[in-house]
């Protein structure tokens, strides 16, 4: 058997060994009882299955082919336990290695018939149907797999994402997502890797608003991030609003009171999780503790301000110490040159006037900390933040 075929077989049979779920309670309740079963009844089908799958798994891990003796044990299992799926799974994997795909499909179908809950049988059949273009049958197997083995569905994400881009795929996948909703974020996450799939993602999305769901938040953040990277700020903002279920705040500061919410960045606040502790507090204020050890972005938000003159103002509870510099800054995206930088040096009301130039479609507002010569922690709060556009600007 060629090395590549052996490597392929190692993955296949190793997976079969790992996913095996058919056991006889009397011989696998615990290790001591299993050992006793081997002594008292070495020819018991369940003992043969355990022993044979163990040998196959060990040889697969070493990349070694199956010996005639092991194949003979497979035949013994088939004769002693005709309802067991394992012999058909092993022979099916071997048939695939030998490029006998139709025969392999027959064997996997027989294994599924003997154990409808066999993850391995359904996985191999789903893969076979996908590769041979039988979409309906493939989706049926994938739907069953999503119920039996949900943690294994990530592997089907790229294949289903590719299928989603073919004619007529959207309604079929929407029906699949209705019966197996856990598959939706897997496919949308795979599609979100390419910003060109934005319309397709929205066509497939089941419109369950609110990105508090981690699975929804993951693909939404990925897709919005890709659109921002490409400078498609309007599309990024539209998708962010749609998924989060919020009103249009374009041209304004979103959530100026720092209220805790499930609305994600980048058009809402992203608060630091490293370099300090930054948390919303009562009274529409933001509590900031900057450790003063490293440069840190303590808070930031992406804005879509039209060209013109603006003023940003806020209240500071107490002045930061001398252990570093705390400052607000605004810069065009992309770009690093600041439109303004306002350092916080005293308590009370602070304000800065600035102008957004033409060609600056998006801006990044940041609260940053920069360590001083003698770093020390700084503790203060920010409130009553107000961003206004000058009259007539």
Greatest mean pLDDT among 19-23, 26-30, 126-130, 209-213 lies in 126-130
Number of domains in the chain: 3
Q: What is the radius of gyration, based on Cα positions, of the chain?
A: 30
Q: Is 186 found in the same domain as 97?
A: no
How deeply is 168 buried, as exposed, middle or buried, from its count of CB atoms within 10 A (0-12, 13-18, 19+)? exposed
**pLDDT confidence of 12, banded at 50, 70, 90?**
very low
**Is pLDDT above 60 for 345?**
yes
**Please, what is the angle between helix 183-191 and helix 169-179, to 10°?**
140
Q: Between 159 and 61, whose confidence is greater?
A: 159
Phi, then psi, of 70 in degrees rounded to 5:
-65, -40
In a domain, 363, yes or no: yes
Q: Is 107 found in the same domain as 60?
A: yes
From 215, 248, 281, give the residue that closes a domain. 248
Distant-in-sequence, close-in-space partners of 128: CB < 8 Å, separation ≥ 6: 101, 104, 105, 108
Mean pLDDT of 330-357: 92
Q: Is 140 found in the same domain as 13?
A: yes
Omega before residue 266 within 30° of 0, cis: yes
Single out the residue of 185, 178, 181 nearest to residue 218, CA to CA.
185
Q: Is 379 found in the same domain as 299?
A: yes
The whole domain housing 323 covers 270-389
How far apart are the C-alpha atoms of 23 and 40, rounded to whole Å? 17
**Is pLDDT above 70 for 21?**
no
**pLDDT confidence of 336, banded at 50, 70, 90?**
confident
**pLDDT for 305-330, tens place per residue?**
999 999 999 999 887 767 678 999 99
pTM above 0.85, yes or no: no
In a domain, 43, yes or no: yes
Mean pLDDT of 62-68: 71
Q: Is 190 found in the same domain as 89?
A: no
Q: Between 180 and 387, whose confidence is greater?
A: 387
In a domain, 260, yes or no: no
Q: What is the per-residue pLDDT for 58?
A: 65
């Amino acid at each position: 058997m060629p090395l590549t075929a052996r490597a392929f077989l190692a993955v296949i049979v190793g997976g079969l060994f790992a996913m095996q779920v058919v056991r006889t309670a009397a011989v696998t309740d615990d290790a001591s009882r299993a050992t006793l079963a081997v002594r008292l009844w070495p020819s018991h089908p369940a003992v043969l299955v355990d022993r044979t799958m163990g040998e196959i798994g060990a040889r697969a891990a070493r990349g070694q082919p199956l010996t005639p003796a092991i194949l003979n044990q497979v035949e013994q299992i088939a004769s002693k336990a005709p309802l067991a799926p394992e012999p058909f799974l092993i022979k099916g994997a071997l048939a695939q290695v030998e490029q006998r795909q139709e025969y392999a499909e027959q064997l996997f179908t027989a294994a599924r018939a003997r154990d409808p809950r066999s993850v391995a049988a359904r996985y191999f059949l789903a893969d076979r149907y996908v590769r041979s273009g039988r979409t309906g049958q493939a989706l049926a197997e994938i739907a069953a797999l999503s119920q039996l083995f949900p943690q294994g569905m990530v592997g089907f994400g790229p294949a289903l994402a590719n299928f989603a881009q073919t004619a007529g795929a959207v309604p079929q996948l929407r029906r699949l997502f209705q019966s197996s909703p856990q598959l939706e974020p897997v496919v949308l996450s795979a599609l979100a890797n390419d910003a060109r799939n934005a319309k397709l993602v929205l066509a497939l999305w089941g419109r369950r608003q609110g990105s508090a769901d981690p699975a929804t938040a993951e693909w939404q953040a990925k897709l919005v991030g890709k659109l921002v990277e490409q400078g498609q700020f309007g599309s990024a903002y539209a998708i962010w609003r749609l998924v989060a279920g919020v009103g249009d705040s374009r041209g304004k500061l979103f959530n100026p009171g720092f209220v805790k919410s499930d609305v994600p960045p980048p058009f809402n606040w992203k608060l630091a999780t490293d370099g300090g502790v930054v948390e919303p507090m009562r009274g529409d204020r933001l509590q900031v503790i900057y450790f003063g050890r490293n440069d840190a972005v303590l808070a930031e938000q992406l804005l879509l301000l039209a060209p013109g003159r603006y003023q940003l103002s806020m209240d500071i509870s107490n002045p930061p110490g001398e252990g570093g510099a705390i400052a607000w800054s605004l810069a065009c995206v992309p770009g690093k040159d600041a439109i303004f930088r306002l350092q916080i040096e005293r308590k009370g009301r602070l304000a800065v006037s600035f102008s957004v130039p033409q060609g600056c479609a998006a801006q990044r507002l940041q609260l940053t900390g920069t360590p001083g010569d003698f770093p020390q922690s700084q503790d203060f709060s920010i409130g009553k933040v107000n961003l206004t556009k000058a009259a007539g600007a």
